[in-house]
Structure formats: C-alpha cells, structure tokens
Structure 1
Amino acid sequence: MNIKLRYGNKNIEFSLKDENVAGVLYPQSKINKKAEEIIAQAMSAPISSEPLYKIVERKKPDSVAIIISDATRPIPYKLMLPPVLNELHLAGIKSQQITIIIGTGCHRANSCEETKLALGEDIIREYQVINHNCDDELTSIGRLTDGTELLINTMAAKANLKIALGSIIPHKLAGYSGGSKAILPGISGRAAITANHSMMNDPRAAEGKWLNNPVRRQMDEAAKLAGLEYILNVVCNENNQVMVAVAGDVENAWQEGVKHCQQISSVSVPYKCPVTIISCGGYPRDLNVYQSIKSITNASKLTEKRGTIVVVARCQDGYGDDIFCQWLKDAFRPEDLIERINNKFVLGGHKGSVVADIVKRHEVVLVSDLTEKEVKNLFMVYQPNINSALRYVEKKHGPEYRAWVIPYAGLVLPKVER
C-alpha cells in the first residue's frame, strides 16, 4: 500500500505491506458547496444574533477589533475576512476604524511573511494588523469568578465592537477550538492564560468534551466580560476547505459548529494496534513540537500500551516555546516533568508534562528536522527518515505488526469501540 504523509510543505511517500495496515483514518472531507456560498449563508442567517450590519447600526462603534488566530492555525482568512469587512463597510465603518488583532495567546508573534500568507497583501495594506503580546500592552477589564484578573489586549479593550474569526477542531483542553477561545487565551494576559490552562488535569477538560468543561466555561466567561459580540467560525477538512460555517452569538453559534465538527472529525476503530503511524498534517500543524503534541495525543488513544507511535512532523521552529524547551533540558526522566508541574503549574512547562505522560505509556519515534539530541530531550526515539523509522518498527514488533495510519492526526477525534 502506498502512503502519503504531509511533512512541512511537502509530502513524504512510502509503502507498507497491506497486511501491516489495519486502516488509514481520515476525517470526513466531502464538500457540497463553494466556501464563499457557505460563509455567505452563515452570515445571512446568524444564530441567536442580529446580522453584523444591524449590530453596527445599533452600536455605532467608533472602532472595531477583529480577532483572528495566529500562524499555528491554518484558517482560510482570505475567504472569511472579505465578507466581514464588506458588511462593516456597508454599515458605514471605515477602514481606519478597524484593527485586525492576531490572537497569539502565549505563542510567538506572527512574522510579516506569515501574516501576508494568511491574509493577503491587500488586507495588510488597507487595515491595521497587529500581533497580540500576552506580556505587554494590556488593559484590565475586571475579574473572573475564580478571582483571576482578566487583562486583554489594549486595542481590543478600547474597541466598541469586537468580532472573532476562527476555526473549530478538536482541542485537548477546551473540547474544541473556536468561539470564546479568541479572547482567552487569544488576546489575554499571561496570568489569565496560566490560570485557565492550569485546569488541564480536570477530567472534564478533555478533547471532544465541552459541556461542563471548566476550561471552556472560563473562556466563555472571559468572552462575556470582554464584550465579544459576534463570531464567524468554520469547520474545514484536511485540505483546509470550508465544509461548514456558523456566525452570530459567541456560544450558541459555536455550539452549532461543534455539532458539525463532531460528525466530521469522529473516527471509531474496533481495537488498538501496537503501532500507529501519523502525520500532523504538514505546515503549520507541524510547525514545532509544541503544536505537534496534539496529534501525538490523538495517536496515543489508538495505540496499545507500550506500543510505538511513529510521528512525521517537520518542526522547523524547534520546540516552539522557551519554557517548554528549558523544562525538557532540565529533566532527567519523564517523571521529573510530571512532578514539576504537580508542584507548580507553569505555562509552557505544562506541555512537558503532556509529553511525559505519553512517553511513559508509549514509545514515540520522531521523524523531523530536529537533531538527535533534541529528540532525545523529548524522551523520544530519533530516526532520520520514514524508511529508517519503519525498519525500526519492524525490528521491534516483527514483520507481521499491525498499524493504524492517520495522515491528519490533529483533525480526528479517535475512539476505540470496545
């Protein structure tokens, strides 16, 4: 069987014996309409909300903030932004009244090239586009019910109308991405993001779970406090083509989108395999280790205990977070990372504990741009290419091993039927 996996901006192709492949798992991907039509239909019938132009007519805002995701999220903003901007302009908003804020959370800022690739030169030329910084230019807008002070991007805080554009995919902590996540962590300060993510060990804070999820509940609270009034969210397939769009109320529109995402991303298998072979889906999903962990977590759900996960992820940005990197360098064994996060939650370090939890249960073989030393710091097995990784797997598990193959592991919501 010929297999093709994304690696950065290219494909890696290899062959597996048919008897080694238990199945190749994809999310649903069928497209019934053009993306422009899907988005227009969603905006013409917003959920639990007035149309955007009517919100503008009612509020008469002096300034508008449009919050988008950063370079780690492959979202079709070139299709989503124009209809939103057009509706704002038709309602009387001028270009100079609009600021597009890249909601980086605690990630690094988008580079100029990344922003140009995501938005296009015309939008960058006509509108102010800024990166959020979770440590600078923040304004307090009150406290959350747990007492955490919520500081958000100052430009967003000053805006009379706040709009968020994003995508909905399974998310390890928040259940699903999108919706109120644009505010927290998107444009929030580090302390609030830390408080929110510190609930990661609550069993209700898990991928695919959003009802009674304390992480998501706090995100929703933050969005209300910030005054986020309108969202446009999409559900895309592995090729980043729009399958579903929802617009309107922050919570209700998002929940409708989640229902569609559940159907599209859910993958059920009858049993676990000793081997799982995955790609994160290429750039930007494999931009760094920090982002790639999401896909590895999904693969672990379909892999037998002590089994092997082969990960194809370029990771051209390295580990992706300075604190995460330092924690890995400081650890002598996976247990050190878990003990450290249990003693004190530190944003960035929390990803180290996720890695530790996985490598304690499974062997992870990484094919990437990282050096052998960098891979070993992750407590993973270094292999220079996919063919050497497959030879390693066959030597360990024997020639008759069975494997699940997941070409877009970050986009599936895997479940074992028994």
Structure 2
Amino acid sequence: MEQIKNLNGISKKKLNEFISGFLDGIPSCKKILVIFPDYTRFDFTDRIAPLIAERFLSQKGASVDFLNAGGTHRKMTETEINEKLGFDKKPENVSYFNHDFDDNSSLRTIGHISKTLVSKKTGGYLNEDIDVTVNRLVLSDYDIIIALSSTAPHEAAGYSGGLKVFFPGISGPEVIDLFHWAAVLAGLGSVIGTVENKARDLINAGSEIIFKNISAQVYSFNMVCAERKNDVVPAGLFIGSGYEGFIKCYRAACALSRKIHVKYIDAPLKRVVQQMPDNYDEIWTAAKGSYKLQRPGVLSPGAEVIIYAPHVSVLHSNKKMQAQLCSLGYH
C-alpha cells in the first residue's frame, strides 16, 4: 500500500506528484476502466480522474471508460459526470456509463453467498443463498481497473469506501437488498463508525467472489477528505491492488476518517437541525441527516431531529421505488 496523508490538507502539488508517480509505475495499457463514486459522495475524484486520463490517453489507441457506482441512486447526467470527474467536457476516447442496478441485461451472476453465512450475518432472519450479481463491464477485457472511493462514517457499512464500490455499488438488487437488511437487522446505531461489522463482512464476501472473476489488475484509490468553507480538502489517499490491497487501504482510510469525521459531545442532544446539501436530492438520501445521529447516547430520549432540505421533492427518483415508498411508507 502507498499513501499520502495530512490532517491539515494535502497541497495540490504534492497530491498530483503522488498520483502521477504511482500511475507512471503502471505498465502501458490500452483499455482502462475507472469506477467512481456518484454525486452523493464528497471527495476529490475531480483531481484524480484528469490525471488518469492524461496518463493513459497519451498512448495511441488507448481508451478510458468511467463507470458510476451509483447503487440504487439515480443516474447522473453527462454534465454531472463531467463536473464529478473534473472535465470541462468529455475527452476523446472516453466513455461514460451509469450503473443500472435494475437492468438485468447489464448484470451478470457470478456466484452466490451461502445461506449459512447470510443467516449468520442477519441473525437468522434471512436463510437463503444470495446470488452475487455485478455490472458486466468489470468482467470485460480491460487491462486495468481503477476503483475510486471515499471513506467516511456510513450508517449501513460502518464506513463507506473500499470494496463497497463493487458490492453493492455496481451490483444487482439482491445484493443491495441483502447489504441493507444486514445493517438494519444489526441496528444502524451499532454499525455506523465501526470498521468491521456484519454488513461489511457481507461486502467482503461478495467482493471476494467478484475479484475471483475479474481478469484485470484492480487498483484501489481510497480518498479521505475534510470539508472547509463549502470546499473539499484532500486529507488522505491510500492506493493498493487486489482484494487484500483494498482491505488494507480501507482500514487505513478508516483510521484517518475517524480523526476527521467523528465528533464527540459532552451530553446527549435534545434538538438537532440538519441542513442537507443539494446533492442529497431525495428523502432516500437526505434521511442520512437522521442516520448520522443514531449512535447510542447522541440523542436524548424524545429528542427532535429536523432535516432541513427545501430542495427535495421526491422520496426516490426511481419511479418504481417512489411508488413502493408511497404505498408502504418510509420508516
């Protein structure tokens, strides 16, 4: 694993030198896939993607594909992808892809997680084999795959980032449902801010199956950042390769994230107002304002949580899920 980190922020010059130095050490490649976090993630993908494009597109006949690991989130527009990746417009020999979790034609089943493990990690509530489905692109004949991810406390995975970009980031509905159910059954309050947990165990198990089916060399670029004055400040970047490399980068990123993103309070809170950013544009994502407060002891009994998000107009942008939420309710 290679890393650069600074709690006070990494300068643009040092970050560029670190990234470019690593990329220069990768043998020449003609076909590259970059998996990147979607619009709901705060990170510095826009400072990494142009360096990747510059490094590989300088070679004759090379192409770079960018795959948005959106899970169940809405698809990104080309304008949004350009902004996320730091491009004024889509470069030549570059293609953009949105992951569609509900499109069977874009998915492939490559194995399953045993019902024994599923039952163990869900406390016996679920007792069936779960198919591992993944976006077909990662199984194509790429020379290398670079997976960008960002690590911060996450209510369903303990921390975001790392292997989560594969499972459930570019997986099918069965996988996504299992992952979230495991977190809910364990209790979001006991999951958020933990490096290892039952949901993360399932992420690791599913991702290990995915890695066994990928022929390309896979690299993890795991980002940790701080937010200052509405800007993202790079604080750490951890780079590794292969399944074990992803695990090492994730754990190192979590250690840094804990120092930056975890806030300690002296007494439980009675009232909290969470002002949600524009990129949380559905109740589905804006509800994170509540989830982030679920650790025991953060809220006093009967506390009031106000999620201020006047820009939100739907429960979910997916019409099917919107209809189900309106029918069943959102609890």
Residue of structure 2 in register with 1:283 after alignment: 278
Residue 41 and residue 266 in structure 1: after superposition, are their counterparts in 2 closer, same or farther (change >3 A)?
Answer: same
Residue 78 and residue 142 in structure 1: after superposition, are their counterparts in 2 closer, same or farther (change >3 A)?
Answer: same
Residue of structure 2 in register with 1:16 after alignment: none
Q: Does residue 131 of the first structure (1) align with residue 126 of the second (2)?
A: no
State the 1:62 CA deviation: 5.7
Residue of structure 2 in register with 1:196 after alignment: 179
User: Are the counterparts in 2 of residues 42 and 247 from structure 1 also a CA contact under 8 Å?
Assistant: no
Residue of structure 1 in register with 2:145 after alignment: 162
C-alpha separation in 1, matches of 2:309 and 2:80: 19
Which of the pair has the greater relative contact order for Cα pairs under 8 Å at 6+ separation?
1
1:224 to 184, 199, 208: 208
User: Are the counterparts in 2 of residues 168 and 176 from structure 1 also a CA contact under 8 Å?
Assistant: yes
Q: Does residue 37 of the first structure (1) align with residue 14 of the second (2)?
A: yes
User: Are the counterparts in 2 of residues 105 and 188 from structure 1 also a CA contact under 8 Å?
Assistant: yes
Q: Deviations over 1:30-52 (max 9, x none)?
A: 634314523643675xxxxxx55
Residue of structure 2 in register with 1:208 after alignment: 193
Residue of structure 2 in register with 1:148 after alignment: 130
User: Are the counterparts in 2 of residues 52 and 230 from structure 1 also a CA contact under 8 Å?
Assistant: no
Please list every run of 5 or more consecutive structure 2 residues that lacks an aligned counterpart in the other structure: 1-5, 116-128, 212-216
Q: Does residue 310 of the first structure (1) align with residue 306 of the second (2)?
A: yes
C-alpha separation in 2, matches of 1:225 and 1:63: 23
Q: Residue type matched to 1:172 in 2?
A: E
State the 1:184 CA deviation: 1.0
Q: Residue type matched to 1:270 in 2?
A: D
2:69 to 78, 89, 103: 103
Q: Deviations over 1:110-129 (max 9, x none)?
A: 12222222124456232111
C-alpha separation in 1, matches of 2:89 and 2:206: 28
Residue of structure 2 in register with 1:298 after alignment: 292
Residue of structure 2 in register with 1:71 after alignment: 39
Residue 122 and residue 207 in structure 1: after superposition, are their counterparts in 2 closer, same or farther (change >3 A)?
Answer: same
* Higher CA-based Rg: 1
Q: Deviations over 1:322-376 (max 9, x none)?
A: 4554344335xxxxx6xxxxxxxxxxxxxx3xxx3xxxxxxxxxxxxxxxxxxxx
Residue 40 and residue 253 in structure 1: after superposition, are their counterparts in 2 closer, same or farther (change >3 A)?
Answer: farther
2:52 to 74, 79, 84: 84
Q: Does residue 330 of the first structure (1) align with residue 327 of the second (2)?
A: yes
C-alpha separation in 2, matches of 1:308 and 1:226: 42
State the 1:316 CA deviation: 3.2
Q: Residue type matched to 1:114 in 2?
A: E
Please list every run of 5 or more consecutive structure 1 residues that lacks an aligned counterpart in the other structure: 1-28, 45-50, 332-336, 338-351, 357-418
- Provide the secondary structure at the position in 2 that maps to 1:229: strand
% of aligned pairs identical?
19
Residue 253 and residue 36 in structure 1: after superposition, are their counterparts in 2 closer, same or farther (change >3 A)?
Answer: farther
Q: Deviations over 1:356-411 (max 9, x none)?
A: 3xxxxxxxxxxxxxxxxxxxxxxxxxxxxxxxxxxxxxxxxxxxxxxxxxxxxxxx
Q: Residue type matched to 2:200 in 1?
A: R
Number of matched pairs: 292
- Provide the secondary structure at the position in 1 that maps to 2:108: strand
Residue 317 and residue 128 in structure 1: after superposition, are their counterparts in 2 closer, same or farther (change >3 A)?
Answer: farther
State the 1:139 CA deviation: 2.0
C-alpha separation in 1, matches of 2:313 and 2:146: 30
Residue of structure 1 in register with 2:270 after alignment: 274
Q: Deviations over 1:210-262 (max 9, x none)?
A: 22x12212222333332372111211112322111111121111211110001
The Cα RMSD (Å) is: 2.7
- Provide the secondary structure at the position in 2 that maps to 1:195: helix
C-alpha separation in 2, matches of 1:256 and 1:277: 31
- Provide the secondary structure at the position in 2 that maps to 1:226: helix
C-alpha separation in 2, matches of 1:236 and 1:206: 21
User: Are the counterparts in 2 of residues 102 and 132 from structure 1 also a CA contact under 8 Å?
Assistant: yes
State the 1:144 CA deviation: 3.0
User: Are the counterparts in 2 of residues 53 and 88 from structure 1 also a CA contact under 8 Å?
Assistant: no
Residue 217 and residue 325 in structure 1: after superposition, are their counterparts in 2 closer, same or farther (change >3 A)?
Answer: same
State the 1:270 CA deviation: 1.3
User: Are the counterparts in 2 of residues 39 and 245 from structure 1 also a CA contact under 8 Å?
Assistant: no
Q: Residue type matched to 1:183 in 2?
A: F
User: Are the counterparts in 2 of residues 184 and 223 from structure 1 also a CA contact under 8 Å?
Assistant: yes
Residue 61 and residue 197 in structure 1: after superposition, are their counterparts in 2 closer, same or farther (change >3 A)?
Answer: farther
Residue 172 and residue 162 in structure 1: after superposition, are their counterparts in 2 closer, same or farther (change >3 A)?
Answer: same
Residue 32 and residue 110 in structure 1: after superposition, are their counterparts in 2 closer, same or farther (change >3 A)?
Answer: closer
C-alpha separation in 2, matches of 1:167 and 1:241: 12
Residue of structure 1 in register with 2:83 after alignment: 117
